[in-house]
Amino acid sequence: MLKLPMRGLVGAALFSAVAVSGASAQDMQAGSVTGLPVPRYVSLKTDRVNLREGPSKEHRTRWVYQRAGLPVEITAEFETWRRVRDSDGAEGWVLHSLLSGKRTALVAPWAKNKTEILPLRSAASADSAIVAELQPGVVTSVASCEKAWCRVSVRNVSGYMPQEKLWGVYPNEKVD
Amino acid identity at 15: F
Please report the DSSP string for 54-107 in residue order: SSSTTSPEEEEE--TT-EEEEEEEETTEEEEE-TT--EEEEEGGGEE---EEEE
pLDDT at 61 over 90: yes
| From 3-12, 61-70, 103-112, 142-151, the region with the lowest mean pLDDT | 3-12
Of 98, 62, 64, the C-alpha closest to 81 is: 98
Domains, in order of start, for the chain: 24-101 (2.30.30.40), 106-167 (2.30.30.40)
- Please, are residues 23 and 85 in contact by the beta-carbon 8 Å criterion? no
What whole-number distance in Å separates Cα of residue 165 and Cα of residue 148? Answer: 10
> Mean per-residue pLDDT for 75-94?
97
Give dist(CA 160, CA 97) in Å, integer.
30
Q: Is the pLDDT of residue 139 over 90?
A: yes
Helix (H) or strand (E) holding 42: strand 40-44
pLDDT band (50, 70, 90) for residue 27: low
pLDDT of residue 33: 86
Say yes or no to pLDDT of 15 above 80: no
What is the rounded average pLDDT for all residues in the chain? 87
**Hey, is 136 helix, strand or coil?**
coil
The pTM for the full model equals 0.83
According to DSSP, the residues that pair with 136 across neighbouring strands are none
Higher pLDDT, 28 or 108: 108
Q: How confident is the model at residue 19 (pLDDT cuts 50, 70, 90)?
A: very low
Check whether 18 has a pLDDT greater than 50: no
Looking at the predicted structure, is the pLDDT value of residue 56 above 80? yes
pLDDT per position as a tens digit, 89-133: 999 999 999 999 999 999 999 998 888 999 999 999 999 999 999
